[in-house]
Amino acid sequence: MVRRDVVRRAVVASLMLLAVLPAAARPGAEYAVVVSADTLRDPAWAAVVGELEAGRRADRVVWSGSVTGSLARLREIRPRYACFVARPAEVSREFVAQVHRITRALDDDPWGDCLWGILTGFDAANARAIARTRAPLTVRRALGGTAISLDRFDSGIWFDEGRVGHAVEKDRYGGLLERTVPPDTTSHIVEELNRGDVDLVVTSGHATEREWQIGYTYTNGSLRSHGGRLYGVDTKGRRFEVRSPNPKVYLPVGNCLMGHMDGPDAMALAWMNAAGVRQMIGYTVPTWFGYMGWGVLDYFVEQPGRFTLAEAVFANQQALLRELQLDPHSRGHRFDRDVVAFYGDPAWEARLAPRELDWEQGLEMENDVWTFTVRPRRGEASFRRGTRPFFQWLPQRIRAAHLIEGREWQPVIADDILLVPRPPSEGPAQPIRVVFRVVPDSDLCEGETR
C-alpha cells in the first residue's frame, strides 16, 4: 500500500509544476452570453439576452441540443465572464454540472477559466429584472437562519437554528446583543425580509426544493414556495407572505436542494421572484460534505469588501479543486465539485462594505518578477479567521511562471490566480512570501503551447 503522505508529496510536486506550465492567453473578450437556440426563439427570453448584451457589450454563444455545444466557441473567445441564460425548465441538475465542467475546460489546466453564472427566473420578466440590475450592491445588513459574523456588517440579526428562542443582533450603534425570541420565529424572519433593507440572507438546516425548515434541532416554522411566491408557515399553520423586492443576495450555505430547479414551484425561483434575490448559490443535491457551501462565507463575509459574491464563489471553487489535486480520491470534495449552482449575472457586483482584515496581503511587480506577501496584523491569531487558502487575483493572465521563493507554502499559480494555503492553526502566524518570475513568450520551452 502506498503511504498517503508519499502520495501527497507527489501531488504537491505536481502542483508546483503547474506554476511553470503555460496558460493560453485570453484574446480579450470580456463577457459572453450563452443561450440555447430554443430559448432565443421565445421573444420574452430573447429580450433577456438583449438586455445583457446591451448592458455588458457581450458576445453571443448559441448552443443546440446540449449546453456542452457551447464549449468550442467559448474556447475561442475566452471570456472573463460567461452568463448562461436559461429558462427554468433547462436548468436541470445535469445542466449545472455541465456548466461547471465547461468553464474548467477553456484551457488544458484543471482550474476554472472564467467567472460564470446561470441567469434564470420564475418567468422571463423576473429574469429580465435580474439582467437589468446594474447598480452595485453594498451589503450592509444581514439576516441569518444560522450563525454569521455580524461584526462584518453595519447591522443584522441571526436566529439560532440549534437553540430554541435564541438570536443575536447587531444594532445600528454597533453593539452585539443576545436576544430572547419566541420558539417559533417564522413571522420574525418574514418581517425582517419585508423591512426592505436586508442585503444578504444566509440559511442552513433541513430543506427541500419546496421548503426551508427554520429550526434544525427543534420544531419551528418554515419558508415555502409555490408558483413563484415565497411565504412563511408557522407551527400554528398561519401564513406570512414574503414581499421583499429590494435587490439582495442569498447564501443557503448548508441547505439541501435549494439550487435544484425541478419545476415552477422551486424555492430558488421564489427567492428570485418574491424576495429580490439577484445572485445566489444552491446545492442541487442533498448536502453532505459542505465545502462548496460554507466556504463561500470565508471569502465573501470573512474578507469583507475584497470579493464580489461571484468572485467569492469562484475562489472557493479553486480552493476545492486544489484539494482534489492533492487527493483525487477525496469523496467529499468530489461530491461537492459540480453540484452547487451559482445563479445570477456574474458581472454584477455585490460585496460587503470594506473593513480592516486581520492580515494584509499584496502583490508587487518589478519587471517580470512578482512578489506576493501576507503579513499578520494582530499577532499569532490573525490568520485563524477562515480556513480557505489566501487568494490573489493577478493583474493579467500569464502564460507561464517559474517559482523563485516560497515553495514551502505550496502555492498554486495558474492563469490569473494565485492560491496559498493557510498555515497550520498551531503556533504563531508567520509572514508569507512567494516570489515568481513571469516568463516572456520568448522563454517558453520548445513544445510548450501558448
CB 352 within 8 A of CB 309: no
For the entire predicted model, the pTM comes to 0.92
Sheet-wide strand order for 211-213: 211-213, 222-226, 229-233, 239-241
Q: Give the span between the Cα atoms of 317 and 281, in whole angstroms.
A: 12
**What does the pLDDT read at residue 53?**
95
Which pLDDT belongs to residue 8?
45
Residue corresponding to grid cell 501576507: 374
C-alpha cell at 252: 443557503
Identify the band that residue 174 occupies on the pLDDT scale cut at 50, 70 and 90.
confident
Residue 359 has pLDDT above 50, yes or no: yes
Instruction: Give me the CATH code for the 356-443 domain, please.
Output: 2.60.40
Supply φ then ψ for residue 15, to 5 degrees.
-65, -40
Nearest to 151 by CA among 302, 340, 319: 302
329-348 per-position pLDDT tens digit: 999 999 999 999 999 999 99
Would you state the pLDDT for residue 116? 98
Question: Residue 447: what pLDDT?
Answer: 35
Q: CB of 121 within 8 A of CB of 130? A: yes
Q: Per-residue pLDDT for 25 more than 90? A: no
- Res 358 pLDDT > 90: no
pLDDT of 442 over the 60 cut: no
pLDDT of residue 382: 56
CB atoms near residue 263 (< 10 Å): 11
Question: And the C-alpha cell for 417?
Answer: 490566480
The pLDDT assigned to 381 comes to 55
pLDDT at 7 over 80: no
Amino acid at 121: G
Contact 318, 417 (CB under 8 A): yes
pLDDT at 289 over 90: yes
| Separation CA 8–CA 14 (nearest Å) | 10
The pLDDT confidence band at residue 400, using thresholds 50, 70 and 90, is: confident
> How far is the C-alpha of 104 from the C-alpha of 111, rounded, in Å?
6
Query: In this predicted model, what pLDDT tens digit does every residue of 190-234 receive, in sequence order?
Result: 999 999 999 999 999 999 999 999 999 999 999 999 999 999 999
DSSP sequence for 104-173: T-SSSSSS--SEEEEE--SSHHHHHHHHT--S-EEE-EEEESS---GGGSSEEEEE-SSSTTEEEEE-TT
Note the pLDDT of residue 445: 43
The better pLDDT of the pair 2, 272 is held by 272
Neighbours of 185 (CB within 10 A): 25
Average pLDDT over residues 355-373: 94
Dist. CA 115–CA 118, nearest whole Å: 11
pLDDT of 282 reads: 98
Q: How far, in Å, CA of 326 to CA of 333, rounded?
A: 11
Q: How many CB atoms lie within 10 A of CB 177?
A: 11
| pLDDT at 1 > cutoff 90 | no
Length of the chain: 450
Q: Mean pLDDT over residues 357-371, rounded?
A: 94
SS3 call for 449? coil
- The C-alpha atoms of residue 133 and residue 218 are separated, in whole angstroms, by 38
Residue 74 has pLDDT above 80, yes or no: yes
Calpha distance 416→175 (Å, rounded): 40
Ranges in the chain annotated CATH 2.60.40 = 356-443
Three-point CA angle 141, 143, 145, nearest 5°: 160
DSSP assignment string, 394-406: -SS--S-EEEEE-
CB 391 within 8 A of CB 294: no
Query: What is the per-residue pLDDT for 202?
Result: 98
Q: Model confidence over 76-92: pLDDT tens digits?
A: 999 999 999 999 999 99
Quote the pLDDT of residue 380: 54
Phi-psi region of 368 (alpha: psi -120 to 50; beta: other; left: phi over 0): alpha
